[in-house]
């Protein structure tokens, strides 16, 4: 792999990770704004709001980590191959709160099946989860493309 193609893949992966983190932040903010007006049980509301805080925290940490990695790359402190473990770690960090959100989606679905008034909460959260998973898949794909193309570090 040439240095030019290596840099292209590294920056594509960094951009995809940043975009995913930005999407996490935006989806969490949108849900935080929409959910207070939507009927749902207090325990589910508390669970969802707690998970939104986790999404926001993860988004901030990943944004910081990718900016630091970008700076290290620009300063010649790391090469393409050295970025793969860091990017993979960021991908994994973003997956964790999304997995927890998927568990709450199941609880929201059960609540919606029992009471139609809870359907809107279910729809809002499942739509946000879908958007988040798409962003994560793009980040993971970009990281995998880099891992495949970058020479192994020994």
Q: Which two tokens stand for residue 42?
A: 């207090």
Task: Decide: 100 and 54 in contact? Cβ < 8 Å.
Answer: yes
pLDDT at residue 80, as a whole number: 84
pLDDT, mean of residues 129-137: 96
Going by pLDDT thresholds of 50, 70 and 90, the confidence category of residue 154 is very low
Q: Where in the chain are the domains?
A: 3-148
Task: Decide: 99 and 120 in contact? Cβ < 8 Å.
Answer: no
Distance, CA of 103 to CA of 129 (rounded, Å): 11
CA dihedral 78, 82, 83, 87 (to 10 degrees): -150
Chain-centroid distance, C-alpha 103 = 16
Q: Lowest mean pLDDT: which of 13-17, 116-120, 146-150?
A: 146-150
pLDDT at residue 2, as a whole number: 53
Q: Lowest mean pLDDT: which of 73-82, 83-92, 117-126?
A: 73-82
The answer to whether the predicted template modeling score (pTM) of the entire model surpasses 0.85 is yes
Q: Which residue has the higher pLDDT, 90 or 100?
A: 90
Predicted confidence (pLDDT) per residue in 18-73, tens digit: 999 999 999 999 999 999 999 999 999 999 999 999 999 999 999 999 999 999 99
């Amino acid at each position: 792999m040439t240095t030019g193609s290596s840099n292209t893949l590294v920056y594509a992966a960094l951009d995809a990770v940043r975009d995913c983190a930005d999407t996490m932040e935006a989806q969490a903010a949108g849900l935080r704004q929409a959910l207070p007006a939507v009927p749902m049980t207090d325990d589910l509301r508390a669970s969802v709001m707690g998970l939104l805080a986790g999404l926001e925290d993860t988004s901030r940490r990943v944004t910081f980590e990718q900016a630091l990695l970008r700076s290290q790359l620009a300063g010649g402190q790391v090469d393409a191959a050295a970025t793969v473990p860091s990017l993979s770690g960021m991908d994994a960090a973003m997956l964790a709160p999304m997995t927890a959100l998927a568990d709450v989606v199941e609880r929201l679905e059960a609540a919606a099946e029992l009471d139609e008034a809870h359907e809107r909460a279910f729809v809002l959260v499942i739509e946000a989860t879908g958007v988040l998973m798409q962003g994560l898949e793009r980040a993971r794909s970009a990281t995998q493309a880099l891992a495949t193309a970058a020479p192994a570090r020994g």
